[in-house]
Structure 1
């Protein structure tokens, strides 16, 4: 999470949606950055409103002074990124390693509940399923999110926010069959609906 209420924004870090690269680009302008552990780096919308917003308010940043934003990704692309990320050599032999399984097997095991992979919507929605962030952008439209963040900073500071790839998943080619795509979309139906809503502009700010 990158909290820069001084400049009017907070970026909630949905896993595997470019959050590490955004942190590297904007952290210098933030009043609060949570890089770890996972529960802090990837605090969801409800956790932010419950725990972090009151803290910012105590330090002079009222909730009305800033907007929260997050990026969401096509569920198949998102799961592929997880599968590739968990195949990195540094975690061979651990329970999360996926280098010894195909993408189809990974998807099947996630769908069966054998591998836990919290949905993107669980990070950005409230418990009742409604959006819990002020602005949502598609991962594929990262440039739009960057343009808004840079506008918040102003032209002088925005010049120093070069975005570079960070925490990149290993390159690992695979074909996604129609059956596998269907299984992903059934398993993460809420994420698929969210991604499509953002694409139509229903939830993507102004």
Structure 2
């Protein structure tokens, strides 16, 4: 359920914060992935699915974990920030996951396409897979629990407001003043 400007002010603050963090994260991703690099040589682009991941797994475990982890972590915050900026609490978990993962995959693909014109940056189809998987994992790990918590808080606030309204509409019981006996 989406709260309007006159609805829940906490929901509006959360959506605004989510949107601002989303813009900041996308600016950081653009700076990391689309700035020209001054390198003496550039490897060939990787258009073979999972070839780069296999090559990374052939590295020592620490280097492989760092390389694959970087691919997973680059767009992972989108898995949380996109639903947060949307501000819906009552939504199908599967539909939310599909929308978020699709947006993450399209953004990753767009970055890879833009990298074709950036000196020093190399196109790698495995980056699209890893970035999309990172978005999905972050979404699954955080969003359902966060939405459940927000629904509970909204419901508690709604009940408290209803109770206050009910208490304010009740009229006090009339009292009859005691009359004393005359001397």
Structure having the larger proportion of residues in strand: 1
Q: If the length of structure 1 is used for normalisation, what is the TM-score? A: 0.25
Larger radius of gyration: 2
Q: If the length of structure 2 is used for normalisation, what is the TM-score? A: 0.27
